[in-house]
A and B are shown apart, each in its own frame.
Chain A
């Protein structure tokens, strides 16, 4: 009979846990968050927020599109108040799917630049992430580099590493390029890059950096915070990789679209259409855009603040000054599908 008792208690715990999870999500003084940001990169801030305001934060993390689907299916009964995700394309998709509502936040409208938030207030950018060119210091001199477009030139044949086209970071880079160059130029640019690949796309951004350090290829396109993390790592192997590569800010000079600036994207948040704790959610969003939270992101994950005047980490400083592509980030969302299809056509796996 003993095993039966163990089973009973397991069932009871499972059921109570699920009831608790549901009811606690609906009590007052809470805010419920669906986050596509990983727990490690959001929970410490949420805990600080709870400590200072007394508002409890309930959290589910997951992949952006899965959470979006969950929001859609839950409809008016959703417990979620705030949807946090990375990539403007995803924020746009959430807006299009009708799961967000516009909320005016005067304070944020003042501090966050216009192109980094939705015009109507459906979503607000919270951190900036740069995706410049990164090169192997011993085999490339910065004067060899100029623009993203130039990576399609024959001199990079067999010297380029790219992450797969499944990565939304690459999709957004292509979406921005479509806006700058038009679809057919973008496709031939990608075809040129695919020809130059040293190996078939695989792995994440970190793997591309490791490939540079190991001599597999000489240039790549990677989000800077991955490099920042390796610079700050306590592991010797990571530091070795970081010491062999450097950031190049592309598309800084020249004429027309060629000088549009380096590709940037945001992580951000929007209010869910059927959220029941608007006040608390507003308080949380303001907290995430506050100076201390912005500094935390810069320090812990090497993302650039969206609010001006916030101190950035030494790793970020070491990457130098840059001009940022000032494209309205909504366009990344609008062009996303076309971008993914062009990538398929160009043979970017």
Chain B
């Protein structure tokens, strides 16, 4: 009994610590500062809200339309190229949204090669012909959908693969067609996973600043930055961020409410290989195209353009790239391990004692994902600097040499920020893994006289391995791509590939940013490919 309490207490402490930055931001809600708010309400706030909602709606539709069909086809049907497509459609995940936005702008802008070619060919001038305006709300929706759909794909595919084949077979034996079985059984059963992927994509969308800012689309997040950078008003910016957070909380609550008491354990352990639905002829062509299109537009085209710039046009990166790559890689790796470890501890605590304080705090700890990195960074800086100052005061009392800013001025701040920002990703994956282990398995283990630890190591660990690996890998890729928090919190003389790419791009040297960008994509490919492996092993192929 003590052990169970001990775990809960430990988890509560961790969750409270991770929630600290979010709480710091929320605390700004109670600081009255009405003047700027009134101005924002009078002028721009309604635009911000409408654009943010449209963006969410668009990206939400986009990631579902790209993610779910690809996941279904690659896990339930057989068609030529299915094997390699099933990992290749993950590749866009390695592409940061701001980089794909820069790249497509270079290609499709009025000054880019395609429109220039059209004008040269036809003799028309700008405005005489219609062309998709990439720098627009629609452009932002397309860009973000292209790089965020893998979250949905990943979760949906894992769910489809883990679905007990027998449910589908029962459906078929009751007279459902294969397609009907998918629509009425497989999809609803995969709903928690699809929603989990969708909410990751949407939170990422809300937190995005780089893409919308570059495209000149005013969203709620650009509004936060405008108040922070333009008006230099931290309090009002934090208040806007807190409202964003409140909105996200509301969405999550709505989703929870909508599935209330439903449970999604698989009733049977049958992992027998389902017969894939063979697709022939026209259907096979359609299936291949459905999988090939997002891969083409989300990865192959932009990566080729980046590679072209990097090789032929950009100033080369030089040997510096070794230290940049190492910094990025090691930070991402350490952050991923920390996030996954904490996610395991928290998920277990929630499973063992799903009491309100534990659940609430854990939920709070995951909200960092919906906040822009800059806001997280401020929320991290304030408590850590306070701790540092207390430490310094303590040292001075004993007459010791001041330790300086050992927390807020070091990589500790950065790792803390990453954990706060990305814990939700790790929690989602670990939690969904744990949710699939039926409590009856634990009971069985205990009735056979196993200790709780033996149950974990003998039953849970093997069953959870791929979920944990998934958590580590997704956080790794996310940290690799992260920019704003890194920019604010990094210590002296410390750069990452994302920082380098940003500095050149924000200095309007897009082409010169290509080598660093392509490096991010290449390093990100490693975990993305491993990610595929970790899912593929869930069911014998």
Interface residues of A (CB under 8 A from B): 7, 10-11, 13-15, 17-19, 21-26, 32, 38-41, 58-70, 73-79, 93, 97, 164-166, 168, 171, 200-207, 210-211, 213-216, 226, 235, 241, 336-337, 340-341, 344-345, 349
Contacts and interface: CB of A to CB of B under 8 A. Distances in A.
B508 A166 contact: no
Contact of A10 (B115, B226, B330, B410): B330
B507 to A, nearest CB: 5
Contacts of A165: 230
Given A62-B487, A349-B218, A205 B508 contact: yes
Contacts of A63: 229, 487-488
A302 to B, nearest CB: 13
Nearest to A226: B508
Nearest to B510: A206
A17 B506 contact: no
Contacts of B508: 204-207, 226
Contacts of B266: none
Contacts of A70: 381, 488
B507 A40 contact: yes
A21 B406 contact: no
B388 A77 contact: yes
Contacts of B109: 207, 210
B337 interface: yes
A60 B408 CA distance: 14
A168 B119 CA distance: 34
Contacts, number: 177
Contact of B405 (A22, A93, A168, A204): A22
Given A60-B490, A79-B405, 4 more contacts: A21-B411, A22-B406, A63-B487, A214-B119
15 contacts: A7-B333, A7-B337, A11-B334, A15-B411, A19-B410, A21-B492, A40-B503, A40-B504, A58-B492, A73-B408, A74-B408, A93-B232, A200-B216, A202-B214, A341-B39
Interface in B485-508: 487-488, 490-495, 499, 503-504, 506-508
Contact of A79 (B377, B409, B490): B409
B43 A14 contact: no
Given A22-B410, A73-B408, A171 B492 contact: no
B348 interface: no
B492 A202 contact: no
Interface in B225-274: 225-226, 228-232, 234
B511 A18 contact: no
Contacts of A67: 488
Contacts of B119: 214
A158 to B, nearest CB: 9
A229 to B, nearest CB: 8
A344 B43 contact: yes
A281 to B, nearest CB: 15
Closest 8 CB pairs of A and B: A202-B216, A18-B410, A21-B491, A18-B411, A210-B111, A58-B492, A344-B43, A206-B508
B411 A14 contact: yes
Secondary structure dominating the interface of A: helix
A215 B503 contact: no
Contacts of A166: 213, 222, 225-226, 229-230
B392 A77 contact: yes
Contacts of B404: 22-23, 25-26, 77, 79
A284 B135 CA distance: 42
Nearest to A10: B330
B382 interface: yes
Contacts of B127: 215-216
Contacts of A74: 385, 388, 405, 408-409
A40 B315 CA distance: 12
A21 B410 contact: yes
Instruction: Among A11, A32, A65, A210, find the residue whose CB has the most chain B CB atoms closer than 10 A.
Output: A65
Contacts of A17: 411, 491, 494
Contact of B135 (A19, A93, A203, A206): A203
Given A73-B385, A164-B216, A344-B44, A38 B506 contact: yes
Contacts of A344: 39-40, 43-44
B305 to A, nearest CB: 14
Contact of A60 (B225, B330, B492): B492
Contact of A345 (B43, B231, B377, B504): B43
A26 B125 CA distance: 60
Contacts of A7: 333, 337
Nearest to A206: B508
Of A14, A164, A337, most buried by chain B (CB within 10 Å of CB) is: A14
B149 interface: no
Contacts of A73: 378, 381-382, 385, 408
A41 to B, nearest CB: 7
Given A40-B504, A206-B508, A235 B222 contact: no
Contacts of A202: 135, 214-216
B166 interface: no
Nearest to A216: B126
Given A13-B330, A77-B389, A66 B43 contact: no
Contacts of B228: 65
Contact of A235 (B377, B415, B493, B511): B511
Nearest to B411: A18
Contacts of A171: 230
B412 interface: yes
Contact of A65 (B126, B229, B494): B229
B28 interface: no
B334 A214 contact: no
A18 to B, nearest CB: 4
Contacts of A201: 216
A61 B410 contact: no
Given A66-B488, A166-B213, A21 B493 contact: yes
A198 B232 CA distance: 30
Interface in B12-46: 39-40, 42-44
Nearest to B228: A65
